[in-house]
Amino acid sequence: MQKRQLGTSELSVSALGLGCMGMSFGYGPAGDREEMKGLIRAAVEQGVTFFDTAEVYGPYTNEELAGEALEPFGQEVVIATKFGFRLDPASGKHVGLDSRPERIREAVEGSLKRLRREMIDLLYQHRVDPKVPIEDVAGTVGDLIREGKARHFGLSEAGVKTIRRAHAVQPVTALQSEYSLWWREPEAEILPALEELGIGLVPFSPLGKGFLTGKIDETTQFDSSDFRGVVPRFTPEARKANRGIVELLERIGQDKGATPAQVALAWVMQQRPWIVAIPGTTKRHRLEENLKAAELTLTAQDLSSIETATAAMVISGERYPEAAQKWIDR
């Protein structure tokens, strides 16, 4: 697989990465540990060098899975993880944002052990903590980089003002934020700012949390442990209303011998050369399907057709439940 450089940094990774969260957390029951290890290693064998996890996924168990699966590959692969939540010692569940310097250091020490690494390749702030100046966060990560415990600094779901303030203290290598054909808000302000500052974009949910694969409709039933069950964009009514975007991907794909997921991923990849999406999966055949998107080229006519069709669409439903809206940085 071809590689891409995240912004103007020296961090070069596979053109598509792998989001590991769903293997342990968020999208229903955790997958079988040995199967998930095999899936991660199969991704490496097929050229993936960029893997995404976080302390809060599980919590802890996803980092442990990624660390064990990727340990044999050493520095051949890049692992990104995240800090930023306060975890209850008894339950392990997160009980709010916490990016105080001492909490960052605590999180990093735990992540290094679970990932079986001496250095975290890309260390993200998971969500912007309004109670802690971003300059303090950037300064702490800068100290960790100088100490050899982290290599690159990243932000997640941060607004332009926050990005600029952080970047002025410690250069930001990548921003991880949601971006796909059904969530294009980053195009207005985020993408121009990233281009100006030389920061890469790592889109999570490039397949619309699975909706853009075409495998979800208004009749789909979600497990009680699947967070999509409380997401407004995934109510049966919203899923029915949003079906048009999947039908568009199906039409484009039919002409190219590609699946809706492959078209959706190819579209994201072609928006900027410094974008590296991290679709997640728990299935080997879906991994192979997704990775083939790196070989798919959409023509100018394809892109124009997508623009024309989506301009007339109104996507129904918010992407987060109301309780999570407070974590969005503007």
Residues noted as catalytic: 57
Terminal CA-CA length for the chain = 35
For 60, what's the count of Cα atoms within 13 Å in the CB-facing half-sphere? 12
Backbone angles phi, psi at 254, to 5 degrees: -60, -35
Q: Which helix (H) or strand (E) holds 83?
A: strand 78-83
Interatomic CA distance for residues 60 and 111, integer angstroms:
8
The secondary structure of 283-312 as a DSSP string is: -HHHHHHHHGGGG----HHHHHHHHHHHHT
CA atoms within 13 A on the CB side of 316: 13
**3-state SS assignment for residue 19:** strand
Strand segments (E) across 179-309 = 200-204
CA angle 39, 40, 44 (to 5 degrees): 115
Q: Which residues pair with 175 in a beta bridge?
A: 155, 201
Look-up of token digits 């802890």? 60
Alpha-carbon distance values, 306 to 182, 300, 309 (Å): 12, 10, 5
3-state class (DSSP) for residue 85: strand
